[in-house]
Amino acid sequence: MISGLSHITLIVKDLERTSLFLEKIFDAKQVYSSGDDTFSLSTEKFFLINDLWICIMKGEPLSERTYNHIAFKIQDSEMDKYMSRIKDVGAEIRPERSRVAGEGRSIYFYDFDNHLFELHTGTLDERLARYSQGK
């Protein structure tokens, strides 16, 4: 039986640059660095964003951008703070997709390896309730 999410691994070209990206935007805390050792496929670092384990592993970045993404929940009152952090790091902000009222707000942005992230203010329950109302 699945008991929850274990971790998310992202392949990145520059471990140090991505470390700063995670720390500056998400307040990620580094808990491990393999240094020159390779226990897995390549050198890696582990971070915690709250209790979520994020692994970054050295490798070739994604060759193209897609809408596949990782979404983190934030409060609506934090939108400006996070927008500022994203701009300070130099991440590319993607235009928000069209939305219906009541499903929350989002900031979409790419890291330096074509991974798409979202900061979202809504919940699953709110979205389901809104979608059940129809267009």
Residue 6: phi, psi to the nearest 5?
A: -80, -60
Query: 52-58 and 7-12 as β-strands: parallel, antiparallel, unpaired?
Result: parallel
Instruction: Read off the tokens for 29.
Output: 């805390």
Confirm if 117 and 10 have CB atoms less than 8 A apart: no
Number of helical H runs and strand E runs in the chain: 3, 8
Distance CA 63, CA 60 (A): 8
- Cβ-count burial of 84 within 10 angstroms (0-12 exposed, 13-18 middle, 19+ buried)? exposed
Catalytic residue among 23, 44, 64, 96: 44
Active site residue 92: no
Q: Active-site positions?
A: 44
